[in-house]
Chains A and B, each alone.
Chain A
Amino acid sequence: MSEVTVARVGDQGMVLLRGEITALDGVLGAVGLPVPEPRRIGRGGGRAVAWMSPDEALVLCPADEARDVAARMTEAAGDAFVTVADVSDARAVFDLRGPWADEALAKLTPADLAAVEEDEMRRSRLAQVAGAFWREEGGWRIVCFRSVGTYVHDLLDNAVAGGPLAPA
């Protein structure tokens, strides 16, 4: 069986943006990003922005840019009712890659993975904790809260160790 791998990602920066999402074009535009469609990920300038809820967006960028991105968006927001927060350190991030990565993830999340679009941010559950994931080349990028990073890492390793789901 071909291998599926689990790797912790250290360089994923994240900046949380709260505010009426349809009114965030100026703030997101300041860092070269479009306003994302519901549940989708928009991209621009080597960064991405995910729609998280009608009043929340998550900017994805290299970790070392996060402070700067947060500062630029804060400045662009001015007096608007918008909250910007660097949450890069509040999360643990993993890459799950390989030919049956979907099957390994299907052991942990009730989300219908076949229905997840290429550019979709899927917020769901990983066994007993909250998690979110989106498709990346050859698999999934998975995000959970930092404090349960070890738990989720163990979950993913365990799911992979169990092998694929395909009928023997």
Chain B
Amino acid sequence: MTARLPRGGRRIDRSRSVEFSFDGKPMRGFVGDTLASALLGRGQQVMGRSFKYHRPRSVVAAGPEEPNALMGIGTGARFEPNRRATVQELYDGLEARSQNAWPSLGFDVGRVNDWVSPLFPAGFYYKTFLAPRVAWKHLFEPVIRKAAGLGAAPEGADGDRYEQAYAHCDLLVAGGGIAGLAAALAAGARGERVIVMEQSAHWGGRAPTDAGEIDGMAPDAWVEDAVARLGGMDSVTLRLRCQVAGVYDHGYVLANEGLTDHRADKAGPRERLWRIRTKKVVAATGALERPLSFAGNDVPGVMLASAVRDYVDLWGVSPGDRTVIVTNNDDAYLTAKVLVRAGLSVPAIIDARPAPDSAVVREVKALGVAVHAGRGIAKVLGRDKVAGVAICLIDGEGAVLQEIKCDCVAMSGGWSPVVHLWSHCGGKLTWDADRAMFVPDLDRPPLGADGVGFVACAGAASGAMTTGAALRDAHAAAGGEGEAPQAEDEAFDLEPVWQMPRGAPHKLRSKAWLDYQNDVKVSDVRLAAQEGFESVEHTKRYTTLGMATDQGKLSNINGLAILADSLGEPIPQVGTTTFRPPWTPVTIGTLAGEARGDLFQPLRRTPLHDWHEAHGAHWEPVGQWRRPYCYLRDGETPEQAVHREVLATRNGLGLLDASTLGKILVRGPDAERFVDMLYTNKVSTLKPGACRYGLMCDENGFLIDDGVAARIDEQTFLCHTTTGGADRIHGWMEDWLQCEWWDWKVHAVNLTEQFAQIAVVGPHARTVLERLGEMDVSKEALPFMRWAEGEIAGIPARVFRISFSGELSYEVAVPASRGLELWEALHREGADLGATAYGTECLHVMRAEKGFIMIGDETDGTVVPQDLGLDWAISKKKDDFLGKRGQERTHLSDPDRWKLVGLETLDGSVIEDGAYIPDAGRNANGQWNVQGRVTSTYHSPTLGKGIAMGLLRHGPKRMGEVVKLTRIGKEPVEARVVSPVFYDPEGERQDV
């Protein structure tokens, strides 16, 4: 049984206790505990159930590599599943819940899967749930989802806030162990900008537990001194609880810093995502100890040897009274020293090597510990916790020589350097056969923009496995001058063991776990190989090895070694799977950062936005703008509001916020030439003071934008674009000016946001402007399609006599900061004239009544102006304009193209949006042939019936014909083909 030792634990403060709960049960730990150490300290060994077989599981590790002890932390809006208990710092009030167990952690009915585990071999999902197809939705998926999966998904919105921050440095050091600190000292001494990020809450990594003296100091004292020296360097920044998650091209690095997960007080951002640009990365990320693959290596009580000594040394927790150590290397002997020193019993060390003999082996033997050389564990005794081990010959088939009682097994299969950051951006690996590890291939580093490697591994991450070597390596990786910190080089002898015993039969292999989190065993990988899976990437996906949230930190190397053995190929031939960011999971909240709620996306607001909001605006998104679709008055539906706004405008006075329309100033000696290329019609002939409606096409001839161009002076045009086209057309102009016509003297300046623009529309438009005073807006002084400059209501203004509604209409542009002043003045002076604010839908209805096209409704990127009957706006005289040649291509000049017509239902109803006009017969796929489609359809309050525009084959030649239009779920409706101009075809109303 695990328990708290009476003394020891360098990280805990026994004078300060912390209360927390596990599965609702109140418990107590100490300040400095992790959730895992506190649970072990309370004798709570089982911490979860496995993914597939629901076997009871306890911690295997003491760090971020932990596969088993995943828990749900927190409640309600702060609940998060799948957090690793080994890195969760304890705080007062922490609530933890076990996962994947039903009805309880102690008794789980899913355990039945384990007893029938032969039914769940590798690729089980692919083999079993094949047919019938319908069963997927109703049977397989619900059952699998309930039985499998890890923690429960959180419900509702995340209660925490997150932020991001940018940082820049010369050197980013990932990892605050002694190698990371030594690298930072070396670079900091040169005055470089250095950032050191350490994922845990402590500097020094494993050194305080594992290392001997450094520079004549105890390792913890050296670490403290190094941190103090770095803290004194202005150019060095140190961050704890900050994981370097991923390394990307061009020295871009993502790291996430935990801010409140370790605290009871959750105020402030929970996590911060660092977006770093660095010239160089030193990955001092250490190494991970590997499990050994023997039967029962997942029984609670079997742990990594390094984790066993961590729990004793760091947290004063005994993982068991009697610990058997099983190893293939010298390093695990350190665990024996720590256990004996703590007064715990080590009945045996089972060493796979035939004749281990190094200083540490002799030292441990001298402590009275029995070493069984050339032996392995045949199997672990005990089902839900370790009761003992059965020992066998390492090279045999598992015949039991002896059984030893124990309640903990400390295993060490060697170490794997953490080469993840080296690999994220393309660094290659090489196999070090002597020490059985993949190490960075220094000849093939990840390359920066200059073709030079920009990531270097340092210390254990580069395979420097002894204290002295790690420090020398790190010092050199950071280009250190002078001597590296000095320390001893301990013994590091190892003999690879990938399966224990080496001749283990299927029965033992099928209880030897590789991937604890996804329940993948040695037998599964062998079966995959037998079934023809040769690629490590395919085997991974077929068996799910290394695909869980731990991404195979403990299992990948063991798994590929088993695969290599099964295939009879050398390990480097099989290779590793791809290391992808992040190193450990990063919350989606951190990646979203501030972009949530009101800040989710930038919202563009016109100068009149707040007025609209205060006056019942029913919003419509238009690009990133919000525009009022209509203004709802007491109890109105949007439909009623639009109806009211149309009639008020046609019969009195309507006011529209047109500020979002693009306003691009085109100026220069070559401006005439430029606008004649941009527009399909001739704009250069405009006289100052005049306006003209124009079309813009892309180089293929398709219509992309329309609007009114106004000539300001000899060298200047003001080009109005659609709302959505403002930025796009400005970019389009710059593209031509910068890339193609670079020698033309033209400036294009986007003045869209400089002006508030208000459309004053309706029979009383002139009256209200005259009341506001100062400018002569009479028919004589300011005829249709002219503009003038002056003052309206004392505000400097440009007034354009243009109309998109068919009514008498002025668009008044004033400086944006004075837009509201003008808007309110218009409402005040126009009150008795029926002044009514109208929205985009009213605008749409009125333009449709007049047969005016709308970019995005009548156009969709496949429509040329000729399709819309706009041939009059295409100059025959100009040599060239953008789109001219495109429009001459046979397909675009085909007389059979669909062309714009008006459509009027025989019963006056409104045609459905997007309705098609079916033709006789069916196509090769058995679908109806079509001869056209609707592009705009509305109820016209003015005419009291449905009106629509659409594209129809030979449309203009078919006036008066009756066609059918589809309706969803109903019979088609009949409509007559008519002119698209439904209202005031002579244009008398706008020219008064």
Q: How far is the CB of B821 from chain A (nearest CB, A)?
A: 12
Instruction: Give chain B residues whose Cβ lies under 8 Å from the Cβ of A90.
Output: 751-754, 816
Complex Cα gap A106–B169 (Å): 13
Instruction: Give chain B residues whose Cβ lies under 8 Å from the Cβ of A147.
Output: 604-606, 625, 753
Q: From residue 661 to 715 of chain B, which have CB atoms closer than 8 A to chain A?
A: 665, 667-669
Q: Are B275 and A110 in contact (CB under 8 A)?
A: yes
Q: From residue 68 to 108 of chain A, which have CB atoms closer than 8 A to chain B?
A: 81, 83, 85-91, 103, 106-107
Residue from the list B193, B601, B816 in contact with A128, Cβ < 8 A: B601
Residue from the list B259, B268, B602, B747 in contact with A151, Cβ < 8 A: B602
Q: Which of A26-34, A40-48, A133-141, A155-163 contacts B (4 or more CB under 8 A)?
A: A155-163
Is B989's CB within 8 Å of the partner chain A? no
Q: How far is the CB of B660 from chain A (nearest CB, A)?
A: 8
Q: Are A167 and B665 in contact (CB under 8 A)?
A: no
Is B730's CB within 8 Å of the partner chain A? no
Instruction: Give chain A residues whose Cβ lies under 8 Å from the Cβ of B163.
Output: 107, 158-159, 162
Q: Are B599 and A145 in contact (CB under 8 A)?
A: no
Please encode chain B, from 640 to 673, with 1 for each CB lying within 8 Å of some chain A CB and 0 for all others.
0000000000000000000000000101110000
- Which one of A81, A114, A159, A163 has the greatest number of beta carbons of chain B within 10 Å? A81
Chain B: which residue is nearest A81 at the CB level? Answer: B745
Complex Cα gap A168–B259 (Å): 9
Q: Are B753 and A127 in contact (CB under 8 A)?
A: no
Q: How far is the CB of A149 from chain B (nearest CB, A)?
A: 7
Complex Cα gap A106–B166 (Å): 5
Is A39's CB within 8 Å of the partner chain B? no
Is B594's CB within 8 Å of the partner chain A? yes
Instruction: Give chain A residues whose Cβ lies under 8 Å from the Cβ of B193.
Output: 114
Instruction: Give chain B residues whose Cβ lies under 8 Å from the Cβ of A154.
Output: 598-599
- Which one of B603, B625, B753 has the greatest number of beta carbons of chain A within 10 Å? B753
Instruction: Give chain A residues whose Cβ lies under 8 Å from the Cβ of B165.
Output: 103, 106-107, 165
Complex Cα gap A147–B627 (Å): 12
Is A148's CB within 8 Å of the partner chain B? yes
Q: Are B668 and A163 in contact (CB under 8 A)?
A: no
Is A18's CB within 8 Å of the partner chain B? yes
Is A129's CB within 8 Å of the partner chain B? yes
Is B755's CB within 8 Å of the partner chain A? yes
Is B14's CB within 8 Å of the partner chain A? no
Q: Are B595 and A128 in contact (CB under 8 A)?
A: yes
Q: Are A128 and B665 in contact (CB under 8 A)?
A: no
* Number of chain A interface residues as a range: 35 or more
Is B164's CB within 8 Å of the partner chain A? yes
Is B749's CB within 8 Å of the partner chain A? yes
Residue from the list A115, A145, A168 in contact with B168, Cβ < 8 A: A115
Instruction: Give chain B residues whose Cβ lies under 8 Å from the Cβ of A151.
Output: 599, 602-603
Please encode chain B, from 716 to 758, with 1 for each CB lying within 8 Å of some chain A CB and 0 for all others.
0000000000000000000000000000010101011111000
Q: Are B599 and A89 in contact (CB under 8 A)?
A: no
Q: Are A127 and B594 in contact (CB under 8 A)?
A: yes
Chain A: which residue is nearest B252 at the CB level? Answer: A110
Is A146's CB within 8 Å of the partner chain B? yes
Q: Which of B236-244, B541-549, B860-868 contacts A (4 or more CB under 8 A)?
A: B236-244
Is B428's CB within 8 Å of the partner chain A? no
Please encode chain B, from 163 to 180, with 1 for each CB lying within 8 Å of some chain A CB and 0 for all others.
111111000000000000
Complex Cα gap A147–B626 (Å): 10
Is A5's CB within 8 Å of the partner chain B? no
Chain A: which residue is nearest B275 at the CB level? Answer: A110
Q: How far is the CB of B342 from chain A (nearest CB, A)?
A: 33
Chain A: which residue is nearest B753 at the CB level? Answer: A90
Instruction: Give chain B residues whose Cβ lies under 8 Å from the Cβ of A127.
Output: 594-595, 599, 602
Is B75's CB within 8 Å of the partner chain A? no
Complex Cα gap A86–B604 (Å): 21
Instruction: Give chain B residues whose Cβ lies under 8 Å from the Cβ of A87.
Output: 751, 754
Q: How far is the CB of A87 from chain B (nearest CB, A)?
A: 6
Complex Cα gap A99–B948 (Å): 62
Is A16's CB within 8 Å of the partner chain B? yes
Is B277's CB within 8 Å of the partner chain A? yes
Residue from the list B168, B598, B602, B607 in contact with A112, Cβ < 8 A: B168
Beyond A89-B815, A107-B163, is A81–B668 a contact (Cβ under 8 Å)?
Answer: yes
Q: Are B602 and A89 in contact (CB under 8 A)?
A: no
Is B269's CB within 8 Å of the partner chain A? yes
Is B28's CB within 8 Å of the partner chain A? no
Q: Are B605 and A150 in contact (CB under 8 A)?
A: yes
Instruction: Give chain A residues whose Cβ lies under 8 Å from the Cβ of B816.
Output: 89-90, 146
Cβ-Cβ contact count across A and B, 8 Å cutoff: 104
Instruction: Give chain B residues whose Cβ lies under 8 Å from the Cβ of A81.
Output: 668-669, 745, 747
Beyond A110-B275, A154-B599, is A167–B755 a contact (Cβ under 8 Å)?
Answer: no
Beyond A89-B753, A112-B277, is A83–B665 a contact (Cβ under 8 Å)?
Answer: yes
Q: Are B599 and A158 in contact (CB under 8 A)?
A: yes
Complex Cα gap A115–B595 (Å): 27
Complex Cα gap A159–B599 (Å): 11
Please encode chain B, from 764 to 784, with 1 for each CB lying within 8 Å of some chain A CB and 0 for all others.
000000000000000000000
Q: Are A85 and B603 in contact (CB under 8 A)?
A: no
Instruction: Give chain A residues whose Cβ lies under 8 Å from the Cβ of B815.
Output: 86, 88-89
Chain B: which residue is nearest A167 at the CB level? Answer: B239
Q: How far is the CB of A3 from chain B (nearest CB, A)?
A: 16
Complex Cα gap A109–B166 (Å): 7
Complex Cα gap A85–B817 (Å): 16
Q: From residue 105 to 129 of chain A, which have CB atoms closer than 8 A to chain B?
A: 106-107, 109-112, 114-115, 127-129
Complex Cα gap A146–B659 (Å): 12
Q: Are B754 and A83 in contact (CB under 8 A)?
A: no
Is B954's CB within 8 Å of the partner chain A? no
Residue from the list A85, A89, A145, A155 in contact with B749, Cβ < 8 A: A85
Instruction: Give chain A residues whose Cβ lies under 8 Å from the Cβ of B239.
Output: 167
Complex Cα gap A107–B590 (Å): 13
Q: Are A89 and B605 in contact (CB under 8 A)?
A: no
Instruction: Give chain B residues whose Cβ lies under 8 Å from the Cβ of A162.
Output: 161, 163, 268-269
Beyond A83-B749, A148-B602, A151-B599, is A107–B594 a contact (Cβ under 8 Å)?
Answer: yes
Q: How far is the CB of A68 from chain B (nearest CB, A)?
A: 13
Beyond A106-B166, A158-B599, is A85–B594 a contact (Cβ under 8 Å)?
Answer: no
Complex Cα gap A106–B276 (Å): 11
Q: How far is the CB of B667 from chain A (nearest CB, A)?
A: 5
- Which one of A83, A115, A128 has the greatest number of beta carbons of chain B within 10 Å? A83
Q: How far is the CB of A127 from chain B (nearest CB, A)?
A: 6
Complex Cα gap A87–B745 (Å): 22
Q: From residue 252 to 271 of chain B, which have CB atoms closer than 8 A to chain A?
A: 259, 268-269
Instruction: Give chain B residues whose Cβ lies under 8 Å from the Cβ of A167.
Output: 237-240
Beyond A106-B166, A147-B606, A159-B163, is A18–B749 a contact (Cβ under 8 Å)?
Answer: yes
Instruction: Give chain B residues whose Cβ lies under 8 Å from the Cβ of A85.
Output: 665, 749, 751, 754
Instruction: Give chain A residues whose Cβ lies under 8 Å from the Cβ of B817.
Output: 88-89
Q: Are B599 and A146 in contact (CB under 8 A)?
A: no
Complex Cα gap A106–B165 (Å): 6
Instruction: Give chain B residues whose Cβ lies under 8 Å from the Cβ of A103.
Output: 165
Instruction: Give chain A residues whose Cβ lies under 8 Å from the Cβ of B669.
Output: 81
Chain A: which residue is nearest B263 at the CB level? Answer: A168
Q: How far is the CB of B337 from chain A (nearest CB, A)?
A: 35
Beyond A85-B665, A147-B604, is A155–B594 a contact (Cβ under 8 Å)?
Answer: yes
Instruction: Give chain B residues whose Cβ lies under 8 Å from the Cβ of A148.
Output: 602-605
Instruction: Give chain A residues whose Cβ lies under 8 Å from the Cβ of B268.
Output: 162-163
Instruction: Give chain A residues whose Cβ lies under 8 Å from the Cβ of B753.
Output: 89-91, 145-147
Complex Cα gap A168–B749 (Å): 47
Complex Cα gap A90–B238 (Å): 42
Q: Are B168 and A155 in contact (CB under 8 A)?
A: no
Known: A83-B747, A89-B817, A127-B602. 12 other contacts (CB 8 A): A18-B749, A81-B669, A85-B754, A90-B816, A110-B275, A147-B625, A148-B605, A151-B603, A154-B598, A158-B163, A162-B269, A163-B269
12 chain-A/chain-B pairs, Cβ below 8 angstroms: A83-B665, A83-B747, A85-B749, A87-B754, A89-B817, A91-B753, A106-B166, A110-B275, A128-B601, A128-B602, A148-B602, A154-B598
The 3 closest A-B pairs by CB, nearest first: A147-B604, A89-B816, A90-B754
